[in-house]
Amino acid sequence: MKLACTVAAVSVLFLFSLPGVSAAESILPAVSKVDLYPRGARILFSVPAALHVSFELPGTFDPSTVRPLPADGQKITSFEAAGVPRPGWIPEALRDLHAQIKENEKKLAVLAGRTSAIKQSFDLLSGPLPRDLKGSEMAEYVEAARKTREKMETELISVSSEMDEIKETTDALIADFSSRMPQDSDTAVQVSARVEGGEKLLVEAWTQQAGWSPFYRMNLDTPSGAIHSSLLARARQHTGMVLEGDLFFHTTVPSTTVAPPDLPPLVADFAPKTVRRAAMMEDMAISPRAEFKLGAPAPAAAPPEIVQSMTDMTVRARGTLPGDNRPAEFLLGEFELKSEVSIVSVPVLSEEAWITAEVKKLSVPLLPGPAELSVDGKLSAKTRLPEQGSGTDIQLAFGKMPLVKAVREKMVSREGSTWTGKGRLEDGYSIEITNGLEKKITVILKDRIPVSAQEKISVETMKIEPRPDEQDKENILSWKITLAPGEKKKTEVLFRLGYPADETVVFR
């Protein structure tokens, strides 16, 4: 009987020592097309058509958005997408990291055992001396115990140090693993369908765990005025799947609901004296909205270029986007713009001048987004570009020029005071502009004199030296001033306001 029990126990231990056989993992379908939006993504999957099709998607996809897109002549007799539990799922990209964490945890367990054994040995050595020790044997025992204790203390320090180092590394790995694991990783979307005809079944699904934003890098070549530009995409997605191949970047998120604009009439009436304003606001109803439905997938776009539609701008790139929320950059295209370079000084805004570039009739549309600007290869500024269609004009400021300065100072009128009596005001300013560069430049200097907003306020120009090259209807003055290296030039402006004596003039 004892022999039988022993054999049974050994057999059980042997079975438990074998590697675990996990359930067959669901094979993810192939990715056919990826449409990325500023918030969210539409993924088109492709699976071999069969009488019964079944596969799983990560729980980061919304089951309500999963739907088939049958090809011509293909018939879908049934289709179902439902959320199901899937505990313990780890994306392929994170399995090595997960294995490393588990290996470190095993090392910590072994070291914790060694620490416990050393501490137990301390307890034994700290106990009472054996009773049978006599004379010199006692001294020898104490010395041997001391040496043994010193050795164990050294080993304990070494083990504790190794444990601290492994624990610190493991904590960092766990934090990285947690941040890269997708949300709802313990759930999945089970997709089942019955298909008649066709070689492949296309299924689309939406996820909110994705997004992208465009940005530009632009370098202004000041001698030629050429702006060498690169359009890039910063994208990330956290579905747990690797998306690769053709990636389509859209600037507009499709609306979930839409309805034709219906402007109700604005009626003026007397309010009932018993009606409160809050109640009136509650009576304002919003008309029902029609559901927005996606059509069949569009054919792949031609070479990488910005494609404009009535509601969207799209650009295509090829590459791989990891599914663990790590950012990735994609080069969407490179182009060159021809511009007219100017140095503009507006001392009422800043003493330092700006270097600007004006582009007439854009040859390519611009997506809205941030831009890193450089001048002659050196980073100069960051800005945000507005959305611009091709054929439009745009002016860009590439940064300030600290060595080109204009100092604006108040001028006292000839009478010795800016105030010369009620109903009349004389005022003015001088501007001294300096070229601190080592080359000759032309600066467009801008300033202003008041423009009247009332018929009873008159504006009289008393002095502008030198005369401006341009003065528009809003009394914005512009001078084109050429300066040699180190040269300074001065501009003076005086004006007089007349107004009724019983009024006070303010500037806005």
Q: How far apart are CA 390 and CA 57, in angstroms?
A: 40
- Of 124 and 198, the one with more pLDDT: 198
Q: Residue 297's pLDDT is what?
A: 37
Tens digit of pLDDT for each residue in 331-375? 988 899 999 999 999 999 999 999 999 999 998 888 888 999 999
- Of 125 and 153, the one with more pLDDT: 153
Tens digit of pLDDT for each residue in 473-494? 888 999 999 999 999 999 999 9
Q: For residues 98 and 175, state if they share a domain.
A: yes
Q: Does residue 437 lie in a domain region?
A: yes
Confidence band of 259 (pLDDT split at 50, 70, 90)? low
Q: For residues 143 and 86, state if they share a domain.
A: no
Share of the chain above pLDDT 90, in %: 51
Q: How far apart are CA 159 and CA 284, in angstroms?
A: 73
Judged against a pLDDT cut of 60, whether residue 447 lies above it is answered with yes
Residue 13's identity, in one-letter code, is L
User: Which of 417, 398, 407 has its CA nearest to residue 358?
Assistant: 398
Q: Residue 136's pLDDT is what?
A: 65
* Residue 147, phi then psi, degrees to nearest 5: -65, -40
Q: For residues 99 and 50, state if they share a domain.
A: no
Q: Are the C-beta atoms of residues 63 and 190 closer than 8 Å to each other?
A: no
Q: Which residues contact 234 (CB under 8 A, 6 or more apart)?
A: 212, 213, 214, 215, 327, 328, 329
Q: Does residue 247 lie in a domain region?
A: no
The three-class DSSP label of residue 307 is: strand
Confidence band of 383 (pLDDT split at 50, 70, 90)? very high
Q: Does residue 74 lie in a domain region?
A: yes
CB-based contacts of 24-33 (< 8 A; 24+ apart in sequence): 26/55, 26/56, 26/188, 27/55, 28/55, 28/56, 28/57, 28/241, 29/55, 29/57, 29/203, 31/241, 31/243, 31/244, 31/245, 32/202, 32/297, 33/245, 33/246, 33/248, 33/297, 33/300
User: Which of 241, 204, 235 has its CA nearest to residue 66?
Assistant: 204
Judged against a pLDDT cut of 80, whether residue 319 lies above it is answered with yes
Q: For residues 69 and 39, state if they share a domain.
A: yes
Q: Does residue 434 lie in a domain region?
A: yes
Between the alpha carbon of residue 321 and those of residues 23, 41, 166, 246, 253, the distances in Å are 28, 12, 31, 11, 19
Q: Are the C-beta atoms of residues 141 and 133 closer than 8 Å to each other?
A: yes
Q: What is the pTM of this model?
A: 0.67
- Tokens 């056919």 correspond to what residue? 32
Q: Does residue 231 lie in a domain region?
A: no
Q: CB count, 10 Å around CB of 396?
A: 20
Q: Residue 138's pLDDT is what?
A: 67
Share of the chain above pLDDT 70, in %: 79
Domain span at 435: 411-498
Q: Residue 361's pLDDT is what?
A: 93
Q: For residues 114 and 191, state if they share a domain.
A: no
Q: For residues 187 and 59, state if they share a domain.
A: yes
- Tokens 């790995």 correspond to what residue? 173
Return the top range by mean pLDDT from 126-140, 369-383, 453-467: 369-383
Q: For residues 156 and 203, state if they share a domain.
A: no
> To the nearest 10°, the Cα dihedral for 122, 125, 126, 130?
160
How far is C-alpha 491 from the chain's CA centre? 46
Average pLDDT over residues 314-340: 90
Beta bridge partners of 325: none
Q: Does residue 305 lie in a domain region?
A: no
- Residue by residue, DSSP assigns 337-374 as EEEEEEEEE-TTT-SEEEEEEEESS-SS-B-SEEEEEE
Q: For residues 86 and 120, state if they share a domain.
A: no
Q: For residues 166 and 35, state if they share a domain.
A: no
Q: Does residue 448 lie in a domain region?
A: yes
User: Which of 454, 428, 431, 430 has its CA nearest to residue 508?
Assistant: 454
Q: Are the C-beta atoms of residues 170 and 103 closer than 8 Å to each other?
A: no
Q: For residues 116 and 190, state if they share a domain.
A: no
Strands 424-435 and 441-448: unpaired
C-alpha angle 163/169/174, rounded to 5°? 120
Q: For residues 194 and 83, state if they share a domain.
A: yes
Mean pLDDT for all residues in the chain: 81
Range with the poorest average pLDDT among 16-30, 339-353, 390-404, 420-434: 16-30
Confidence band of 171 (pLDDT split at 50, 70, 90)? very high
Q: For residues 62 and 189, state if they share a domain.
A: yes
Q: How many CA atoms lie within 13 Å of 70's alpha carbon, on the beta-carbon side? A: 15
Q: Does residue 301 lie in a domain region?
A: no
Break the chain down into helix, strand, coil percent, rounded to 5.
Answer: 20, 40, 40
Number of structural domains in the chain: 3
Range with the poorest average pLDDT among 173-182, 414-423, 438-447: 414-423
